[in-house]
Amino acid sequence: MDFAPTEKVALLRDQVEKFFATDILPRHPTWCESSEDQARGTPAFMHELRAKAYEMGLWNLGLPNLRDDEPGTRLTNLEFAPLAEIMGRLPWAPQVFNCHAPEVPNMEILQLFASPEQREAYLKPLLEGQIRSSFAMTEPAVASSDATNIATRIERQGDKYVINGRKWFASNAGNPETRFLIVVGITNPEAKRGRQHSLVIVPKDTPGLTVVRSLPVLHHVDRATPHSEVLFENVTVPVSARLGEEGAGFVIGQARLGPARVHHCMRAIGRAEVLLRLMVERINDREAFGARLRSYSNITDAVAESRIELEQSRLLVQRTAWLLDQEGNKAARKDVSLIKIAVARMYHNIADRGIQMFGAMGLTDDAPFASALAQARAFRIYDGPDEVHLRTIYRLEEREALSDNQRLSSHFLRGPGATA
């Protein structure tokens, strides 16, 4: 288990680092200004940066299963990790390299389950960066942490599906460049609980589909990938729009969520590195009560604690990426839940400490800490709340501990009731 970057990855990391410093970071103020108006779509310079990344071969870096005729650099999850961290420093930087959510996980399930016609219509332009997409699963009327509660109906009528329901937190649905949504809903309410749901591809301009509103998260709007509420009223698509087999919605969803969660964590580590760097600069520059902030041990201890938590999270993410590469989603299930919780906590802790160090500025959008805190708190709900992942971790831990029927109680416990 070696996490050191190979020569190939080290070269790519240096290229991405240089590209970030010279081409991306200087444009961040302009991006912030242009993103205030979502209706304007992607800033003009973004297309220039994406074209340059494409020509440099820094494209589709997070997709390990590209075909020979598909554009991109085939990296494993572990190889992608240090590059994703660099991209994660800014919320919009992954888009430059076509390595952003929800496109990457959507492309992955299209690679696995799309028909030849669907690959041509949807996967190909996504791989080329010509369009954007959305994923619509969560619903406001049910506890979507239990995905079997999802109630949107996808009813078959002859050679058509008719969709009725309301979604929210549909990632990227409000983006004017989004051309289709992947929608989760019930196709057979009489089937077994895990076989009731299917996925269908719905073009965004289909009659009856309405993007109702954008959703702020703790009063902060994700400008890079806005979340939206979407209404489906008798939305009709052909049966050929179904993705994979009918009733296979949860199987397909799991194929999508494993790598997606790992990539979220990789990017969060990159963002946390930025916050930590800003904290160090702040306490070296700022004075209070006649001394630099760095002279107060409680301040420097907070920086040290942040570094400990960040490095622990990085190693855990690298191990999970390695396990995904070696054995796949099922084998990495517990590790994915571990990083889902650990990284969110780390990210939240560092953002909170940064706010304290920056004082009044930390509470405003003049610094990145308030938006990072909102994002970190939301991470504890996105892609499954902490409680669901904690339960998964316990169940797998219990299964592993009791699988061989060799209890340790008789060896390590003494006295009455030791083996009870």
**Angle, in degrees to the nearest 10, between helices 333-358 and 249-285:** 30
pLDDT in tens, 145-193: 888 899 999 999 999 999 999 999 999 999 889 999 999 999 999 999 8
**366 pLDDT above the threshold of 80:** yes
In angstroms, how far is the first alpha carbon of the chain from the final one? 38
pLDDT, position 254: 78
Tokens 């994406």 — which residue?
50
Judge: domain 7-127, CATH 3.20.20.70: no
Residues in CB range of 419: below 8 A, 6 or more apart: 407, 409, 410, 413
Tokens 């610094």 — which residue?
367
pLDDT in tens, 248-298: 998 888 777 778 899 999 999 999 999 999 999 999 999 999 999 999 999
Answer whether 247's CB lies under 8 Å from 183's CB: no
Answer whether 322's CB lies under 8 Å from 1's CB: yes
Q: b/e map of 349-381 (b: 16 or more CB within 10 Å)?
A: bbbbbbbebbeeebeeeebbbbbbbbbbbbbbb
Average pLDDT estimate for 66-71: 93
Average pLDDT estimate for 51-68: 95
Closest CA to 60 of 92, 105, 22: 105
**420 pLDDT above the threshold of 70:** no
Answer whether 347's CB lies under 8 Å from 310's CB: no
Dist. CA 363–CA 369, nearest whole Å: 7
Answer whether 135's CB lies under 8 Å from 105's CB: yes
| Range(s) within the chain of domains with CATH label 2.40.110.10 | 132-246
Closest CA to 170 of 159, 182, 161, 162: 182
| Range(s) within the chain of domains with CATH label 1.20.140.10 | 250-402
pLDDT, position 413: 87
Upstream peptide bond of 216 is cis (omega within 30 degrees of 0): no
Closest CA to 173 of 218, 146, 210: 210
Q: Which CATH superfamily is domain 250-402 in?
A: Butyryl-CoA Dehydrogenase, subunit A, domain 3 (1.20.140.10)
Average pLDDT estimate for 187-212: 95
Answer whether 103's CB lies under 8 Å from 91's CB: no
Token code pair at residue 280: 């160090």
Average pLDDT estimate for 106-122: 96
Dist. CA 8–CA 12, nearest whole Å: 6
Global pTM value: 0.93
pLDDT in tens, 123-149: 999 999 999 999 999 999 999 888 889
**39 pLDDT above the threshold of 70:** no
pLDDT in tens, 303-345: 999 999 999 999 999 999 999 999 988 889 999 999 999 999 9
> pLDDT class for 37, splitting at 50, 70, 90?
low
pLDDT, position 404: 73
Answer whether 242's CB lies under 8 Å from 162's CB: no
* 252 vs 25 pLDDT, higher one: 25
pLDDT, position 14: 97
pLDDT, position 390: 96
> pLDDT class for 402, splitting at 50, 70, 90?
confident
pLDDT, position 260: 87
| Range(s) within the chain of domains with CATH label 1.10.540.10 | 7-127
**412 pLDDT above the threshold of 60:** yes
> pLDDT class for 40, splitting at 50, 70, 90?
low
> Looking at 138-206, which runs of residues are DSSP E strands?
153-157, 160-171, 178-186, 197-203
Q: What is the DSSP letter of 193?
A: G
Dist. CA 228–CA 375, nearest whole Å: 16
Answer whether 231's CB lies under 8 Å from 184's CB: no
Dist. CA 156–CA 163, nearest whole Å: 9
Give the domain 132-246 fold. Butyryl-CoA Dehydrogenase, subunit A; domain 2 (2.40.110)
**419 pLDDT above the threshold of 70:** no
